Amino acid sequence: MIILVTGTPGVGKTSVAKEIARKLSLEYVHVSEFVLKNNLFSSYDPVRETYEIDDEVVARSLNEYLKTKDAVVESVYPSLLDNADLVIVLRRNPLSLYKELKERGWPELKVAENVEAEAIGYVLQEAMDWFGNACQVDTTGRKAEEVVNLCLKKDCEDIDWLSDKRVQELLFSLDNVIISNEK
């Protein structure tokens, strides 16, 4: 059994994925740690403070590793997995996510790109395109245990951040950050 827990950074993937793995006695696989441990990154982006990967190289290695495993896999990139028995996309209100990522001390560009990705449902769309279905769960203001229970019950939600005027205003300001960094 493979359970994929995905979503943008800051939505609670690590806490939720680890707890699901513990409750179901499954191995926990953090894809970023897997990439670093197996030296699967191609370069480091100092502006975004992140490692860059070749998706095909990582996917090949990860899927080979998972072939005989029962695991909960945590990843920002759903399309790295060939298959999953359950795909959970954790979501968080972009206004709350913005505060979280800023508190982490992330560079403004990295914050802007990740909050925009959450607002437009980028990871959800990738999961839907890749697997055909996914269970969305809103983590905003919820404790990890509550989110885990919703995930295990497959109590999925429809989430549309773009209908919130405050989120739209935030997106306009984040666009300015991204544009100013492209110059």
Annotation-wise, does 48 bind a ligand? no
- Rounded to the nearest integer, the mean pLDDT of the chain is 95
Q: What percent of the chain has pLDDT over 70?
A: 99
Q: How many residues does the chain have?
A: 183
Nearest to 50 by CA among 95, 4, 113: 113
Annotation-wise, does 7 bind a ligand? no
Residue found under tokens 């190289």 = 57
Domains of the chain: 2-182 (3.40.50.300)
Average pLDDT over residues 52-75: 95
Annotation-wise, does 141 bind a ligand? no
pLDDT of residue 48: 80
Task: Tell me the two tokens of residue 106.
Answer: 């992330």
Annotation-wise, does 8 bind a ligand? no
Average pLDDT over residues 152-162: 96
CB burial string 137-167: b at 16+ within 10 A, e below: bbbbebebeebbebbeeeeeeebebeeeeeb
Whole-number CA gyration radius for the chain: 16
pLDDT in tens, 84-126: 999 999 999 999 999 999 999 999 999 999 999 999 999 999 9
Residue 183 has pLDDT above 70, yes or no: no
Lowest mean pLDDT among 31-45, 64-78, 142-156: 31-45
Per-residue confidence at 46, pLDDT binned at 50, 70, 90?
Answer: confident
Average pLDDT over residues 135-152: 97
Using CA atoms, how far residue 158 sits from 34, 90, 126, 138, 181, in Å, is 31, 12, 16, 9, 33
Annotation-wise, does 14 bind a ligand? yes
Annotation-wise, does 12 bind a ligand? yes
